[in-house]
Chain A
């Protein structure tokens, strides 16, 4: 998805893990994914650089669709579809 498409997404669940270091954001995503239905969209906010690689790989392993990452000031938003 393009940056514009990502920014225009309506998310069903937002997880703010900016206060945690690895593996905090990944574990926050794991906990939250159980709260949405298949097909719904979740965003994960993180300031931990490793999360940019962790979430896409985790999506591949767990069968979720990684949609993309948007850079913000001092953090980033990662989008995925369950």
Chain B
């Protein structure tokens, strides 16, 4: 039986939403799903090499940011890049950087982004993946 497919449109460049995405990717990995991630606008900022580990922006409940980040440490939750890496090691995960999003943040080549990223694509790739997926998410 073919693996189920998850298509994730990842718009957010904030640590809270990226951490949530990492948890969902863990679930997908446990079930051997094929995953296609499309890194859109603000997420492309977070995927830039110089930003991935230093970016601590949060999208929600921003007044509790320090408490949130401290809790992640207390719980020994893996950084979102580690969660993504683990999922890539355990199942078929492809991470595509949106070409337009990359350019917004001065990322023109795949080498401008962290090694988790596989390639730079256009919106047509996303449309095809979304059509074929069993589950579509926008984060």
CB within 8 Å of B: which residues of A? 19-24, 26-27, 29-31, 54, 58, 61-62
Determine if B31 and A62 form an interchain contact, defined as CB atoms under 8 angstroms apart: yes
CB-CB < 8 A to A54: which residues of B? 30
Determine if B76 and A27 form an interchain contact, defined as CB atoms under 8 angstroms apart: no
Interface pairs A-B: 10 shortest CB-CB? A23-B26, A30-B30, A26-B30, A21-B75, A27-B26, A23-B27, A23-B23, A58-B30, A61-B31, A27-B30
For residue B77, CB closer than 8 A to chain A, the reply is yes
Determine if A26 and B26 form an interchain contact, defined as CB atoms under 8 angstroms apart: yes
Number of A-B contacts (CB under 8 A): 32
CB-CB < 8 A to B77: which residues of A? 21
Q: Mark B61-105, 1 if CB is under 8 A from A, else 0.
A: 000000000000001110000000010001000000000000000
Give the contact-size bracket for chain B.
10 to 19
CB-CB < 8 A to A30: which residues of B? 29-30, 90
Q: What are 13 A-to-B residue pairs whose CB atoms are below 8 Å? A: A19-B76, A20-B76, A21-B75, A21-B76, A21-B77, A24-B26, A26-B27, A26-B30, A27-B30, A27-B90, A54-B30, A58-B30, A62-B31
